């Protein structure tokens, strides 16, 4: 039958006929199988379904999954796929620049800046809070200094504590809201809370210095709630919309989902960079072009209030953008709930996740905790080497300039992470392990020879370790934890799992901020490194590697678990490559069987097809929408697949909505004239002749570099 597929040259649609989904092809040349009985031979079925079941970025022409190949062949196959993809991207960039030199910038804005705008704004504000403390100490030593006489040290410490606690509460609460009410509501709510919080911070005042500190601290708590919600809601919405229109099972999702999420996350780094540069500019402009102390109270008031007022304007725009320009942010969650027949919060999915994915929760939450201890420990280096190499270490400007250098190096780590996080030979898990290991080394070395590395003789090496720890923190656990905390969990509780993991992670920051107040600097260097070692071990033991595994396949496995048939799933989501060591030891991957899975996939696709076809026909017969049907056009079925299912599926299953397991004779005997049948053209869309062939007629730009809507 494969050999009988006939080639049909390019044609235009018949005059007067409007091209519609699954209607006549109007673009490329294509093949079609001859009319008659549908194919039942496995080889023929593979020819029809090959682009869905064996995409060429994951399978060889022989139908072997890349992770099942011998090492030498695996290296060759993966490098070939990624090199070809890189060439396609470069060619696409060239075409874009030829048509419009600024189009790559427009692409970056739509695919990184807009999805990560909330994280960029919160990165700006949170970094500003830390940057302003040295200025406050220098301006109001009687309140912010070590020997303060006007303000309570408890309230000064609470500025940091309330900020972190507010973030933790927001991470958990908005994570639940995102899974309960929806992603779009969470996005709008977060932006609105951050906007009001910034107004509170900018306008904070008091009759006394301590009164102002109290107002400032509680304003940070309120703002922190919105910031905390950004973590789960931005990660899940970016991930689920990694492909335009919410379509999940595509080449771009498998090959570039990690990059899509990381590009949004690294806006946090850009926010820090803009904040630091803006503060330096404000200090020079308002302090007579001089960054040295003493600093006047009026100057300081202008600097910090203006620095918070500027992002308030950006956050107000973000409220508008999310409310009016992101209407489809929650469609993937809606589809998952519809499939499980759930309207509110999916408690059953939460229970099953804790049962089946408990090790993953330990990995995502535990590694994030270890990373945040490191993230805040990084600043331990700076004060030490500034005191040795700077001619004016008491100047706030000196510290800000070194911060600026560190942020630039961190941004290099963010961007390199986005380039390699989807590479199958490196990917998420290896990146996180290497990052933790390098941070461990960068801290343990000076810990046991502290006097030498903080002396003029060793300070350059000490400074290099500071910058390297920043680089590998971003090119490692800081980028990966944000991605995998949502990626390894099912859609119905993805935001909740991400929020829980982020909350536990932020408790590491809280631990660091409290602990560092009670131990000296050298002791800190003895304590911090071991969190890097612990993070590496947790990653190795409990974290699965989802590099190259598309979300739809994970959702397919979850559907089996959700319906109590987890043992019947045989697909690549339980391939040893995509399971943690703990899961492999627990026997999760024992049911992996590619041959059984191929048959299951076709039947699972049939179930999906009948469900959507039933809804479509109800809409046609009733003359009105039968619920939210936007998802109907999100499938990747070409016309051959549609024809195959029409000719091999009992009509009453998708006309009456009968259960496939039940022979509903009453419904099957309905007058077929009452149901409008979708016409089947003899002109069938392209069919790949080999398992590795891509779906013809479905044009995807290389890595999605073409212009697309950010929603």
β-sheet bridge partners, residue 6: 32
For position 561, what pLDDT does the model report? 96
Range of the domain at 55: 51-99
Identify the pLDDT of residue 699. 38
590 domain-assigned: yes
Please report the DSSP string for 529-590 in residue order: HHHHHHHHHHHHHH----TT--HHHHHHHHHHHHTT-GGG--SGGGSGGGS-HHHHHTTGGG
User: How far apart, in Å, are the Cα atoms of 459 and each of 377, 454, 546?
Assistant: 18, 5, 41
Instruction: Using the Cα atoms of residue 102, residue 106, residue 108 and residue 109 in order, give the sign of their dihedral.
Output: positive
**Domain assignment present for 56:** yes
Residue 563 lies in a domain: yes
* CA separation for the pair 618, 624 (Å, rounded): 8
* pLDDT (0 to 100) of residue 30: 45
In a domain, 82, yes or no: yes
| Spans in the chain with pLDDT lower than 50 | 1-2, 4-31, 243-249, 625-633, 657-711
Evaluated on CA atoms 565, 59, 37, 668, the torsion sign reads: positive
What sign for the dihedral angle of Cα 158, 278, 410, 480? Answer: positive
C-alpha distances (whole Å) from 415 to each of 403, 422, 471 are: 18, 13, 10
The answer as to whether 172 is a domain residue is no
Quick count: other Cβ atoms within 10 Å of Cβ 696? 18
Q: Which two tokens stand for residue 529?
A: 């490194």
Choose among 158, 170, 332: nearest CA to 242.
332
What pLDDT is recorded for position 348? Answer: 93
Domain assignment of residue 63, yes or no: yes
Contacts of 710 (CB under 8 A, 6+ apart): 110, 111, 114, 115, 325, 326
Angle at 689 between CA 687 and CA 695, to 5 degrees: 40
| Tally of domains within the chain | 2
Q: pLDDT value at position 372?
A: 92
pLDDT at residue number 243? 43
Last residue of a domain, one of 610, 645, 680: 645
Residue 64 inside a domain? The answer is yes
Structural domain contains residue 95: yes
């Amino acid at each position: 039958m494969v050999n009988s597929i006939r080639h049909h040259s390019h044609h235009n649609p018949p005059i007067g006929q409007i091209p519609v989904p699954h209607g006549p092809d109007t673009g490329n040349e294509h093949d079609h199988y001859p009319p008659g009985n549908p194919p039942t031979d496995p080889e023929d079925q593979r020819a029809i379904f090959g682009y869905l079941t064996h995409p060429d970025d994951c399978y060889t022409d022989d139908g072997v999954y890349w992770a099942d190949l011998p090492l030498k062949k695996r290296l060759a196959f993966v490098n070939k796929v990624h090199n070809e993809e890189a060439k396609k991207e470069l060619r696409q960039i060239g075409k874009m620049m030829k048509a419009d030199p600024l189009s790559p910038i427009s692409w970056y804005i739509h695919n990184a800046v807009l999805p990560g705008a909330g994280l960029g704004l919160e990165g700006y504000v949170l970094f500003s809070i830390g940057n302003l403390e040295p200025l406050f100490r220098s301006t109001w030593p009687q309140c912010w200094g070590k020997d303060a006489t006007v303000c309570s040290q408890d309230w000064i410490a609470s500025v940091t504590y309330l900020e972190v606690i507010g973030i933790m509460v927001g991470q958990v609460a908005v994570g639940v809201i995102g899974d309960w009410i929806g992603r779009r509501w969470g996005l709008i709510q977060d932006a609105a809370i951050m906007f009001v919080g910034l107004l509170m911070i900018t306008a904070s005042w008091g009759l006394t210095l301590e009164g102002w500190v109290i107002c400032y601290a509680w304003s940070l708590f309120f703002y922190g709630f919105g910031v905390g919600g950004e973590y789960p809601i931005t990660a899940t919405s970016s991930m689920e919309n990694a492909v335009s229109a919410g379509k999940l099972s595509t080449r771009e999702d498998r090959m570039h989902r990690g990059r899509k999420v990381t590009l949004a996350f690294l806006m946090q780094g850009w926010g820090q960079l803009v904040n630091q540069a803006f503060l330096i500019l404000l200090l020079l402009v308002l302090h007579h072009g001089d960054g040295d102390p003493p600093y006047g109270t009026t100057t300081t008031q202008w600097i910090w209030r203006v620095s918070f007022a500027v992002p308030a304007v950006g956050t107000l725009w973000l409220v508008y953008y999310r409310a009016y320009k992101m209407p489809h942010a929650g469609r993937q969650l809606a589809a998952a709930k519809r499939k499980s027949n759930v309207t509110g919060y999916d408690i059953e999915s939460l229970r099953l996740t804790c049962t089946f994915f408990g090790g993953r929760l330990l990995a995502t939450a535990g590694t994030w905790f270890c990373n945040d201890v490191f993230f805040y420990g990084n600043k331990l280096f700076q004060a030490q080497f500034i005191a040795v190499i700077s001619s004016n270490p008491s100047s706030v400007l000196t510290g800000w300039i070194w911060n600026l250098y560190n942020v630039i190096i961190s941004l290099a780590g963010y961007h390199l992470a986005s380039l390699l996080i989807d590479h199958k030979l490196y990917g998420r898990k290896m990146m996180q392990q290497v990052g933790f290991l390098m941070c461990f080394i960068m801290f343990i070395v000076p810990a046991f020879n502290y006097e030498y590395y903080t002396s003029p003789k060793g300070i350059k090496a000490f400074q290099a370790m500071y910058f390297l720890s920043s680089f590998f923190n971003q090119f490692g656990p800081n980028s990966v934890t944000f991605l995998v905390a949502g990626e390894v969990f099912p859609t119905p509780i993805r935001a909740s799992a991400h929020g829980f993991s982020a909350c536990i992670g932020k408790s590491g920051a809280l631990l660091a901020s409290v602990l560092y107040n009670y131990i000296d600097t050298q002791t800190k260097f003895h304590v911090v490194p071991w969190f890097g070692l612990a993070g590496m071990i947790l990653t190795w033991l409990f974290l699965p590697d989802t590099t190259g595994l598309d979300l739809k396949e994970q959702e397919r496995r979850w559907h089996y678990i959700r319906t109590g048939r987890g043992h019947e799933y045989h697909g690549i989501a339980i391939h040893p490559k995509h399971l943690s060591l703990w899961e492999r030891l627990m026997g999760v991957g024992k049911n992996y069987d590619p041959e059984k899975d191929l048959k299951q996939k076709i039947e699972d696709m049939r179930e999906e097809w009948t469900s959507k076809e039933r809804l479509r026909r109800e809409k046609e017969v009733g003359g009105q929408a039968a619920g939210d049907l936007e998802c109907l056009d999100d499938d990747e079925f070409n016309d051959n697949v549609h024809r195959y299912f029409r000719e091999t599926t009992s009509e009453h299953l998708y006309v009456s909505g009968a259960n496939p397991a039940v022979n509903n004779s009453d419904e099957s005997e309905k007058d077929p004239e009452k149901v409008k049948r979708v016409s089947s053209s003899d002109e069938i869309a392209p069919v790949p002749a080999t398992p590795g062939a891509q779906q013809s007629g479905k044009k995807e730009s290389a890595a999605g570099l073409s212009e697309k809507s950010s929603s």
